[in-house]
């Protein structure tokens, strides 16, 4: 599999990102150790000059690492299924060995670690004194660890894919050994009911909190995490059957196919947009006094409301227009 150009490109890109982060990590440790704005000597001046370079380097690398999640989804969901026997989407390709799903989860959660540094860098640049410089570089180390784990799992995943092994995809799991049968999750009306109740209640609670309780940013962030979990749960066990038009199919990866208008990219982008905008608003409110700026996070809150509405209305619209056809 290492001869495939998609795989070579991803391994090469992740290796370059890791090398650059390693260089930035050593430089960041030096900055954190000797940074002292109260001493305008030659050392402090060199640290300030080097800080701009390191911050820009880490900013570019981490931004690219966030983009790599989309490239990985395209690889495992569109490029690899024709190559791997038995795979029709990312469910089959990720199940080809034991490294697929851990790699996907690592990439999903690493976005938030990378975003912490990027947001702190953005806030730090708003003040000429850059008061967040020592604090923001603390996030370079966990970002480096995530990058190391990412490249390690990426190499293990691609090298352990064997074309001779037939993997099992989600469509095969929708059938029982005795013939065609609906999956138990769709036969269990209680699962669907619970999913919808939790999803709808968490939506209205979060919307109420965003509109009327504007200053409680950290509870908003916690509640948004709960909402996203409930939204993905409801999407998998209820809404996807209306999107696909198949009551026995609950694979989330098919949402990224063109025949379903690639609606998965918009939905999961709205989940990320909601969480990241509230994370930025919380950081802005937390460090406003240090930066000497206003603590209003109206832009972040409005964008969070927009993402919340998008993530709620799209699956509900599919259910509304296709209810009664399945």
- Tell me the per-residue pLDDT of 303-324, one tens digit each, with 9 for 90 and over: 999 999 999 999 999 998 877 5
Helix axes 217-234, 263-286, angle to 10 degrees: 170
Is residue 202 a contact partner of residue 225, using CB atoms and an 8 Å limit? no
pLDDT at 314: 94
pLDDT at 188: 63
Span 73-128, pLDDT tens digits: 999 998 888 888 777 888 888 888 899 999 999 999 999 999 998 899 888 888 77
pLDDT at 174: 47
Is residue 232 a contact partner of residue 274, using CB atoms and an 8 Å limit? no
Q: Which candidate, 228, 244, 255, places its Cα nearest to that of 322? A: 244
The values of phi and psi at residue 248, to 5°, are -110, 10
Span 201-238, pLDDT tens digits: 999 999 998 888 777 778 889 999 999 999 999 998 88
Angle at 104 between CA 266 and CA 277, to 5 degrees: 45
Span 251-306, pLDDT tens digits: 888 899 888 889 999 999 999 999 999 999 888 888 887 777 666 667 888 899 99
Q: Does pLDDT of 183 surpass 50?
A: no
pLDDT at 153: 94
pLDDT at 181: 43
pLDDT at 161: 85
**Sign, CA torsion 29/35/41/45:** positive
How sure is the predictor about 326, in pLDDT bands with cuts at 50, 70 and 90? low
User: Regarding beta strands 175-176 and 179-180, do their DSSP bridges make them parallel or antiparallel, or are they unpaired?
Assistant: antiparallel
Q: How many residues does the chain have?
A: 326
Query: Which sequence spans correspond to the domains of the chain?
Result: 5-171, 175-322
Distance CA 69, CA 128 (A): 33
The DSSP code sequence of 240-280 is: HHHHHT-TT---SGGGGSGGGTTHHHHHHHHHHHHHHHHHH
Q: Does pLDDT of 177 surpass 60?
A: no
Q: Which candidate, 89, 95, 30, 19, places its Cα nearest to that of 58? A: 19
Helix axes 100-124, 140-159, angle to 10 degrees: 150
> Furthest-apart CA pair in the chain: how many Å?
79
Q: HSE on the CB side for 40, CA within 13 Å? A: 1
Q: How far apart are the first and last CA of the chain?
A: 41
Q: Does pLDDT of 175 surpass 50?
A: no
The values of phi and psi at residue 37, to 5°, are -60, -20
Span 39-62, pLDDT tens digits: 777 887 788 787 888 888 888 888
The contacts of residue 71 (CB under 8 Å, 6+ apart) are 10
Higher pLDDT, 147 or 213: 147
The structure's pTM equals 0.89
């Amino acid at each position: 599999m290492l001869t495939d150009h998609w795989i070579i490109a991803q391994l090469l890109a992740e290796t370059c990102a890791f090398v650059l982060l390693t260089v930035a990590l050593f430089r960041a440790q030096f900055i954190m150790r000797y940074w002292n704005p109260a001493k305008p000597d030659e050392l402090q001046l060199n640290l300030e000059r080097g800080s701009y370079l390191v911050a820009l380097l880490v900013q570019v690398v981490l931004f690219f690492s966030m983009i790599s999640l989309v490239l990985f989804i395209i690889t495992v969901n569109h490029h690899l299924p024709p190559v791997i026997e038995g795979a029709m989407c990312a469910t089959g390709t990720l199940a080809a060995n034991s490294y697929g799903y851990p790699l996907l989860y690592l990439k999903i959660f690493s976005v938030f670690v990378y975003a912490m540094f990027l947001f702190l860098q953005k806030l730090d640049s708003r003040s000429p004194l850059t008061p967040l410089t020592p604090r923001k570089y603390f996030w370079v180390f966990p970002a480096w660890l995530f990058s190391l784990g990412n490249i390690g799992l990426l190499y293990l995943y691609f090298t352990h894919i064997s074309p001779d092994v037939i993997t099992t995809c989600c469509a095969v799991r929708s059938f029982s050994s005795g013939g065609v049968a609906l999956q138990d999750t769709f036969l269990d009306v209680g699962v669907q009911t619970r999913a919808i109740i939790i999803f709808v209640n968490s939506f209205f609670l979060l919307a109420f909190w965003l509109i009327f309780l504007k200053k409680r940013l950290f509870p908003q962030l916690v509640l948004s995490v709960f909402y996203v979990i409930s939204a993905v749960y409801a999407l998998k066990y209820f809404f996807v059957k209306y999107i696909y038009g198949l009551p026995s199919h609950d694979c989330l990866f098919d949402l990224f196919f063109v025949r379903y208008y690639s609606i998965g990219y918009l939905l999961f982008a709205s989940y990320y947009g909601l969480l990241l905008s509230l994370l930025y608003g919380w950081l802005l409110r937390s460090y406003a006094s240090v930066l000497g700026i206003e603590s209003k996070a109206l832009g972040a809150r409005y964008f969070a409301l927009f993402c919340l509405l998008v993530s709620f209305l799209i699956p509900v619209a599919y259910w509304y227009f296709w209810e009664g056809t399945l």
